[in-house]
Amino acid sequence: MKKRSPPVSRLPGDRAMSGSGVGWLPALALSLLAQGCAAPAPPPQAATLAPPVIGYSGMTPLDATTYLVVHDFKSAGPRLGLLRVAGPGSPRYEPLDAGDWPSPDRRATDLEAVCALPGGGFLAAESGPSAGREGRMFHFELRDHAPQWRRTLSLPAGAPHPHNFEGLACAPRRDGTVLLLLGERGGSASYPQGRLYWGVFDPAAGTVFWPPAGQVGVAVNPPGRWLNPREKRAIADLYLAADGALWAVASEDGGDQGPFRSVIYRAATVRPERDPPVAIAPKPRTAWRLDGLKVEALAGPAAIPGSVLSVATDDEQYGGIWRPLYRALPESDREQAALPAAQRPAGKGR
Query: What is the number of structural domains in the chain?
Result: 1
> Which residues have CB under 8 Å from 300's CB, separation 6+?
61, 239, 241, 309, 310
The CATH number of the domain holding residue 140 is 2.115.10
pLDDT at residue 331, rounded to an integer: 66
| 86 lies in some domain | yes
pLDDT band of 340, cuts 50, 70, 90? low
Is the pLDDT confidence value at 242 over 80?
yes
Which pLDDT tens digit goes with each residue over 168-186?
A: 999 999 999 999 999 999 9
What counts of helices (H) and strands (E) characterise the chain?
A: 3, 21
| 259 lies in some domain | yes
pLDDT at residue 265, rounded to an integer: 97
| Domain limits for position 177 | 58-343
| 257 lies in some domain | yes
Which pLDDT tens digit goes with each residue over 71-80?
A: 998 888 889 9
| 10 lies in some domain | no
| 18 lies in some domain | no
Give the residue, 44 or 327, on which the prediction is more confident. Answer: 327
pLDDT at residue 161, rounded to an integer: 77
| 122 lies in some domain | yes
Query: Hey, how many other C-beta atoms are within 10 angstroms of the C-beta on 66?
Result: 18
Task: Name the nearest CA neighbour of 218 among 251, 184, 171, 172.
Answer: 184
pLDDT band of 89, cuts 50, 70, 90? confident
Q: Report whether 250 contacts 237 (CB < 8 A).
A: no
pTM, whole model, 2 decimals? 0.80
Q: Is 150 in a helix, a strand, or coil?
A: strand
Q: Report whether 322 contacts 312 (CB < 8 A).
A: yes
| 23 lies in some domain | no
| 5 lies in some domain | no
pLDDT band of 225, cuts 50, 70, 90? confident
Mean predicted confidence (pLDDT) in 205-223 = 95
Which pLDDT tens digit goes with each residue over 114-149?
A: 999 998 999 999 988 776 778 899 999 999 888 999
Is the pLDDT confidence value at 51 over 70?
no
